[in-house]
Amino acid sequence: MTKLQIYCMHGYMASLAEYFERNAPKPKYFIGDRVFGHYNKIPFVGTVGNDRNKVGGDPNPEVTIHLDLPMKLTSGLTSFIIIKHKDIKQILEVYK
């Protein structure tokens, strides 16, 4: 029996939503956040696509970034990078 089945049998949780609220890792960056940072000493500005946290507490979580402008790397131009949290310097303010 899984942990989830035991919890549900004993009435500790009303739904899967409660289970995942308690046990799923919480993201630091959310989809659509505007960020600034450096990748291979190249500054970038872009939008967060996904915060990749793993269950169990990954010591090196990653963030996918969709770049505003393409970046020239050794293999050519790219508009999408995967970086560590420490490479993001700040979240940009969105002005309306």
pLDDT at 63 over 70: yes
Range of the domain at 70: 26-91
Predicted TM-score (pTM) of this structure: 0.69
Is the residue at 1 inside a domain?
no
Say how many domains are in the chain: 1
Three-class secondary structure of residue 87 per DSSP: helix
Is the residue at 43 inside a domain?
yes
Is the residue at 8 inside a domain?
no
Is the residue at 5 inside a domain?
no
Is the residue at 15 inside a domain?
no
Is the residue at 59 inside a domain?
yes
Could you tell me the CA-to-CA distances from 87 to 2, 17, 23, 76 in Å, in that order? Answer: 37, 32, 27, 21
Is the residue at 39 inside a domain?
yes
The CATH number of whichever domain residue 60 belongs to comes to 2.30.30
pLDDT at residue 7, as a whole number? 59
Q: Report pLDDT digits (tens) over 4-60.
A: 666 565 555 567 777 777 777 778 888 888 999 999 888 999 999 988 776 666 677
pLDDT confidence tier of residue 71, bands split at 50, 70 and 90 = very high
Distance in angstroms (rounded) separating the CA atoms of residues 65 and 33: 10
pLDDT at residue 12, as a whole number? 58
First and final CA of the chain: distance in angstroms? Answer: 51
